[in-house]
Amino acid sequence: MNQEVPELRGVQVRNDFIALDTAEERSLTVSGTTEPLREWKAVWNVDKGKVAAIVSKAYTIVQHRNVAESFIQACQRLNINFRYRIRDGGNRFFMDVEFPDSRMKVSEGEEFIAGFRLGNSYNKTGSVLVMPRLVRLACNNGMVMPSRGFVPVFRVRHNQKLVTTFEGYIEKALGQVISSNDKLKSMVSECMKDSIEWETTKKLMEVLFKHEKHRLKVFEPLYEQHVSGKPITRWDVYNAVTRYATHGEQLSPHVEMMLQNRAKQLLVTPAVRIASQQ
């Protein structure tokens, strides 16, 4: 079902969102007959020409475009300066929104700007969600923040009140992100102090990344640091993960989100504890 969203300011913004995949409902029939299934229906990805999911009749489709437009519309209503980047994986979509005026300094050389990550899916892999995100200015790494001890992830059931819902959340959550500067300082400080033995670093890679390709990409800069003789901390590992998640070539939204989840684990959990997991 399409949601009505007030027109956005900016031709480029509208064009970006029009290009996102769309979905529609399709009826299902009992195999070998024309009898419709009363309890179920299909979510059809129009652009891919494929079924994205089989859902109950009560399920309401929310278009990727409507999620993106509603959030940006809310930012415009609040007169907040923003920029955005879209990661469209077809049935899943993410959009990172940053607020350049929300700069936070946690230590010398460690400055961040606040933002959010939006997500939606046609294949039931996730609801409409908004999670706090920071960008580290030293390397432009995007960092999805853990909800524990920071700002809770915001989830919206598929409905038609996105603009109003987002507007209230943005105003409140952005204030919480900025006011949580002390929490961020504490997290970063703990990571920087958590020095890691080289064997523990290698074990960390094995525990966090089962896929060899991703493990090697994250491991590369850490190996170079080890060879140079510079000690490795949990903050170094965290930044190696977020660097690959942000700048790695041809990463799908699903893989990028997996990497961000691993990074969140590093931010709040001592390295030795993670490395000891089976």
Q: What is the pTM for the complete model shown?
A: 0.76
**DSSP tag of 83:** E
Going by C-alpha positions, the residue among 273, 277, 250, 259 that lies closest to residue 87 is 250
pLDDT digits (tens, 9 = 90+) for 58-113: 888 888 988 888 888 888 888 888 888 888 778 998 899 998 888 888 878 888 88
How far does CA 91 lie from the centroid of its chain? 15
pLDDT digits (tens, 9 = 90+) for 114-164: 888 888 999 988 788 888 888 888 888 888 776 555 666 777 665 545 666
Residues contacting 259, CB < 8 A, separation 6+: 214, 241, 242, 244, 245, 248, 251
pLDDT at 187: 84
Q: Phi/psi of residue 168, each to 5°?
A: -65, -40
Which helix (H) or strand (E) segment holds residue 97: the answer is: strand 92-107
182: confidence class by pLDDT, cuts 50, 70, 90? confident
Residues contacting 94, CB < 8 A, separation 6+: 86, 87, 117, 118, 119, 253, 256, 257
Side-chain half-sphere CA neighbours of 6 within 13 A = 12
Residues contacting 273, CB < 8 A, separation 6+: none
196: confidence class by pLDDT, cuts 50, 70, 90? very high
The pLDDT of residue 47 is above 50: yes
pLDDT at 160: 47
Pairing type for strands 83-88 and 50-56 reads unpaired
pLDDT at 71: 84
How far does CA 135 lie from the centroid of its chain? 12
pLDDT at 230: 94
Distances (CA, A) of 186 to 147, 157, 194: 15, 33, 12
Mean pLDDT over the full length of the chain = 84
252: confidence class by pLDDT, cuts 50, 70, 90? confident
Q: Phi/psi of residue 215, each to 5°?
A: -60, -45
212 vs 3 pLDDT, higher one: 212
Distance CA 64, CA 45 (A): 11
pLDDT at 150: 62
In the chain, where the domains are located: 1-180, 194-275
9 vs 26 pLDDT, higher one: 26
pLDDT at 5: 39
Q: What proportion of the chain, given as a percentage, has pLDDT over 90?
A: 33
Location of structure tokens 């959010």 = 116
